[in-house]
Each structure stands twice: as C-alpha cells, then as structure tokens.
C-alpha cells in the first residue's frame, strides 16, 4: 500500500467515524509530540529530559463518573453495581454525537497501535486525543505498530479522550462534567473533562477484561517476570503491597508490571509500557523506575523545581498519585515481545496492617480462588488523607474497578489454569509483625524478598508446613533467609490475647466480605478462615 493509499484509507476511517477535525497528527514521533506539547504549553521538559505535565482538577481516577452501556450484550454479563454503573444506549449516543460535533475544526492527535503482546490475542486500538502529551502517553503505554502494520491498521477499539469537552449532567445524563463511558458492543470509549491519562489506560484494560474471557483467555491485574530457565512468575497485589518492588528482581526479566492475559500457550503483557507511581521515588530502592525517567517519559503531577528543572519526587502537594509513563524497553532486561510460558508460581501480596496474617503461606486451588476473589490488603494510616487507623480493604480479583464481569468468572478461570498447569500459589504478607501498625514493625523487605526467592526457586518444596486453623492456611516452618519465629505471627506478639482478638476480627472480616459472592461454590467458601 502506497503512502497516499494509506492516508486515504485513514481519512476514510475518520470520516466514517463521524468527525471532521481541521488537522490530525497520526502516530507522531516522540520528539515531535514533546515539541508540540511544549509549544502548546501542555508541559515542560525537565532536567531528566522527561516531559512534565499537570492534570489539573483530576489527579487520579474518577470512579463515580465511569459508566458501562447497558444493552443486549452487557445486561447479563456485567456485574452491575457501584463499580460498574449502567448507562442507557440513548444517553451514550447523544453524548457521542455532541463530542464528535465539538471536535469539528479542531486539531486532534491519533495513536494507532495494539494491546496484547501475543499476536493471536492482540486488539488493534485507536486513541484520539486533543492533547499532544496524551498521544505521547498512549505511544509509550501501548504497543507500537511497525510501518507495515500502521498502513493496514483497522482499529477494533477506539478511545476518544477530549479533555476540553465538558458534559452538562442535567442534560447529558452524566454524574458530573467529567465522564468515562464504555460501550462494549461498539468497542468505543468516550472520556471528557478529565486530563488524567490513567483513565485512558484503565478503560482499555476494562474492555480487555470483558473481551478476553469469551476467547478463553484469563485477564489479570498483576505483574510478571521470567527466569533464565524460562520459569514464569505472577505477582498480584493492590497498592502498597510491594508488587512493583518485589517483581523487579535483578536476577529475572520483567514481562510486564500491571496487566496480562493467560492463554493456553502462556502469559502475555497487555501493554507495551509502564505507568509507575513515583511518590518518594529513590534511585537506590527503585533504580529501574528512576533510570526510566528520561527522554520520552511522561511525568504526571510531579513537582518540578523552577530553577534546576529537577523533579521533586518527595513533594506530594499536587497529589500523592504522581506517575511516570515510559515504554517497557526503558527497563533493562525487559522481555520484548513481552510473553512468557505458563506460570510455575503465583504470588498474592497483601499488606496486613493488623499484623496477624502469616507472612508466608501456601494456598490450595480453592484457597487461591478464595483469596483471589477477596483481594485483601490494608489502606495504611498516613498513606491516604483521612485514614488515621489502618483500614481493611477488599478489591475483588486484586483489581475490582477494572473487572466488569462477576468475580466468580475470573476465579473459575484461575482455578482451571492452576489445575491444568499445576501452578503453585502462595500468599505473602508484606505488612506488620509483632503487633498492628503503630505497635509492631513492617516486615523487613529483605525477608519478603527471601520469601519470594524461596517460592520461585522451589526451596519450600522440601520443608514442613503447619496448618493455621483460624485462617485455614498452610504455613512453612522454615524459609531460607527468614528467621523461623517471623513465620508464625502469634510468636512475634508480646500480648498473645491481643493477637487472638485481632486475628479473629480479621477472620470475621474475610467471612463477612465473602458473603457478597452469592454464586461462589461451597468448596471455595470453605477454603477461607474458620471461625
């Protein structure tokens, strides 16, 4: 296909989509996107050569403004409720037409590429934005096409993110002026009035989480790495559990840090980049992220010194949710294309601020499904505004905001994968020992690393386990590099009665939370804590 034919094809697609901008910049280079971003005062180049931007009012996801279109496809397949809120088709159509009319005569930026590193399960996508820096974000976060692939590109999923377009709630049927509307039938996402680029990433992931199960591919919110012998490991965990830190092992290669699929052939990264939190980022503790913040990387809401132009990663005055977006190939030893075999081990990470869960335990298949559906961790005092005491939180499948289907659908797939591939599953608690937050101490990172190493290298296969009757967990009596007394949490508490009370309290929380999974089998339910 000649360049003129390719251009004509693209123009025809844009016309068919129903927009008439004055100019479209398609798949510009990193250098050009940075140049335009600076020209338009969208951002500034820092001392690290990264592009720094501020996202204004919205510095994180806006869950109250996210809706999924309710129609023949979704009515019985989406888990409707507070997370997945219904939107009538007519409301979506009206707002779609308003948005398309709004961008008439304006300059737009398009990124055409893919999600899904496995060619058999990849999805061609189109990201349309009105800001150059967000097109750069898409370029770095998703999988970039070759010149030949770009010529023949036919998008199956389109995201139209128009920051300058605001909804009128009383007219448009939204919750506020900002909106994230997902139409799974049309494979079209509309985002307006929020500059936070994470909405683009997460909406694409939400769509993939809905689509992949119908292809018998298990979608996962996790990180993964691979050893020199080809052994693959998965790490599930919510914010603050150490997922990014513990999966970044210098002895192993990173496949991906956030979003994956698991087919019959093995696992694959859904994305082509990383979107790392960088509040309090230090070169010593996280060198991979630190060194990835260079030319082409996008910094969101990081405070920049006006004179030196150095990023101040310790300054959370704009938001605690500061971010860096960069391509996977900025990470040394990253696996590209980012695919791996069927996982040998799965690690669930939790940060129990009550200090009662064992630091390391082995899960049965049903136990794995129980803890996967539960998705337990603690929001820690001091990490979020307004939280004075540790607060237990449960997020189904370790990613509730991005899982449109019922938790049992994803858990069933997990169980089948574990059975088919004989995958070992462990629960590692990176939280507190010797007492709750404020009394005990955070489990040392070197102990957590030693546990991960022992799980991956198989050294726990030959040790004895004892059964924790309350939490219904199998706990190893020893682990290389970890003092044995640390493995039994009750032994680390001075006040044993307080431990028993706190442990029963957490066990009850697990049981109470699981009541919402009415369709869970008795086998899964009985794999949880025993009161």
User: Domain coordinates of the chain in residue numbers?
Assistant: 3-41+60-216, 223-257+344-525, 274-330
CB contact at 8 A, 165 and 195: no
Angle subtended at Cα 390 by Cα 438 and Cα 483, rounded to the nearest 5 degrees: 55
- Rounded Cα–Cα distance for residues 406 and 86 (Å): 15
Q: Rg of the Cα trace of the chain?
A: 23
Q: 3-class SS at 293?
A: coil
CB contact at 8 A, 457 and 426: no
- Rounded Cα–Cα distance for residues 204 and 198 (Å): 10
Tens digits of per-residue pLDDT, 219-266?
999 999 999 999 999 999 988 888 888 888 888 999 999 999 999 999
The low-confidence residues of the chain, meaning pLDDT below 70, are 1-4, 380-390
Tens digits of per-residue pLDDT, 340-353?
999 999 999 999 99
| Per-residue CA distances from 164 to 102, 126, 140, 181, 192 (Å) | 9, 19, 22, 16, 7
Instruction: Tell me, yes or no, if the two domains 3-41+60-216 and 274-330 fold the same way.
Output: no
Tell me the catalytic residues: 61, 202, 221, 239, 243-244, 258, 323
Q: What is the pLDDT of residue 244?
A: 80
Provide CATH code, domain 223-257+344-525. 3.90.228.20
Q: What is the pLDDT of residue 381?
A: 43
The predicted model scores a pTM of 0.94
Q: What is the pLDDT of residue 214?
A: 96
CATH of 3-41+60-216, one of 3.40.50.920, 3.40.449.10, 3.20.20.20, 3.40.140.10: 3.40.449.10
- Rounded Cα–Cα distance for residues 76 and 74 (Å): 6
Residues 6 or more apart whose CB falls under 8 angstroms from that of 324 comprise 50, 274, 275, 276, 278, 281, 289, 292, 293, 297, 298, 299, 300, 302
Ranges of H-type helices in 260-358: 287-292
Q: What is the pLDDT of residue 50?
A: 98
- Rounded Cα–Cα distance for residues 202 and 60 (Å): 11
Closest CA to 349 of 277, 436, 429: 429
Residue 473, token pair as written in the block: 């967990």
Q: What is the DSSP string of 208-260?
A: HHHHGGGGT-EEEE-EEEE-TT--EEEEEE-TTSSHHHHH--TTSEEEESSEE
Class of domain 274-330: mainly beta
Q: What is the pLDDT of residue 387?
A: 47
């Amino acid at each position: 296909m000649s360049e003129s034919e390719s251009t004509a094809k693209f123009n025809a697609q844009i016309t068919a989509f129903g927009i008439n901008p004055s100019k479209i910049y398609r798949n510009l280079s990193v250098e050009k996107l940075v140049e335009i971003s600076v020209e338009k005062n969208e951002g500034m180049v820092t001392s690290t050569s990264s592009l720094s931007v501020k996202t204004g009012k919205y510095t994180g996801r806006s869950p109250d403004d996210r809706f999924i279109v309710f129609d023949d496809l979704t009515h019985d397949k989406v888990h409707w409720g507070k997370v997945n809120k219904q939107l009538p088709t007519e409301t979506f159509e009206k707002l779609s037409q308003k948005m398309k009319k709004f961008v008439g005569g304006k300059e737009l930026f398009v990124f055409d590429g893919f999600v899904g590193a496995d060619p058999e399960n990849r999805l061609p996508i189109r990201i349309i934005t009105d800001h150059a820096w967000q097109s750069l974000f898409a370029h770095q976060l998703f999988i970039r096409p070759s010149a030949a692939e770009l010529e023949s590109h036919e998008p199956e999923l389109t995201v139209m993110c128009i920051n300058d377009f605001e909804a009128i709630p009383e007219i448009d049927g939204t919750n506020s002026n900002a909106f994230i509307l997902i139409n799974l039938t049309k494979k079209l996402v509309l985002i307006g009035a929020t500059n936070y680029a994470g909405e683009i990433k997460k909406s694409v992931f939400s769509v993939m989480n809905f689509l992949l199960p119908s292809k018998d591919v298990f979608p996962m919110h996790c990180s993964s790495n691979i050893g020199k012998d080809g052994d693959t490991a998965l790490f599930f965990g919510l914010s603050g559990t150490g997922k990014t830190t513990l999966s970044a092992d210098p002895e192993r290669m990173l496949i991906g840090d956030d979003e994956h699929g698991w087919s019959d052939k093995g696992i694959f990264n859904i994305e082509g980049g990383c979107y790392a939190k960088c509040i309090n980022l230090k070169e010593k503790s996280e060198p991979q992220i630190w060194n990835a913040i260079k030319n082409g990387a996008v910094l969101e809401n990081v405070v920049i010194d006006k004179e030196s132009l150095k990023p101040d990663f310790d300054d959370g005055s704009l938001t605690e949710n500061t971010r860096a977006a960069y391509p996977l190939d900025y990470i040394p030893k990253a696996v590209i294309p980012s695919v791996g075999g069927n996982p040998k081990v799965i690690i669930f990470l939790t940060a129990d601020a009550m200090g009662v869960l064992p630091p390391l335990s082995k899960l049965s298949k049903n136990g794995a499904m129980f803890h996967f559906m539960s998705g337990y961790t603690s929001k820690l005092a001091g990490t979020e505004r307004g939280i004075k005491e540790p607060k237990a939180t449960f997020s189904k499948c370790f990613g509730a905001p991005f899982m449109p289907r019922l938790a049992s659908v994803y858990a069933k797939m997990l169980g089948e994968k574990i059975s088919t591939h004989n995958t070992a599953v462990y629960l590692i608690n990176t939280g507190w020992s010797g007492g709750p937050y404020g009394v005990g101490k955070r489990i040392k990172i070197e102990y957590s690393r030693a546990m991960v190493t022992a799980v991956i290298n198989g050294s726990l296969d030959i040790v004895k386990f004892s059964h924790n009757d309350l939490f219904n967990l199998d706990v190893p009596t020893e682990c290389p590099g970890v003092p044995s007394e640390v493995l039994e949490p009750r032994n680390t508490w001075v006040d044993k009665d307080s431990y028993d009370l706190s442990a029963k309290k957490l066990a009850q929380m697990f049981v109470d939370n699981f009541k919402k999974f009415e369709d869970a089998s008795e086998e899964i339910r009985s794999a949880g804590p025993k009161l």
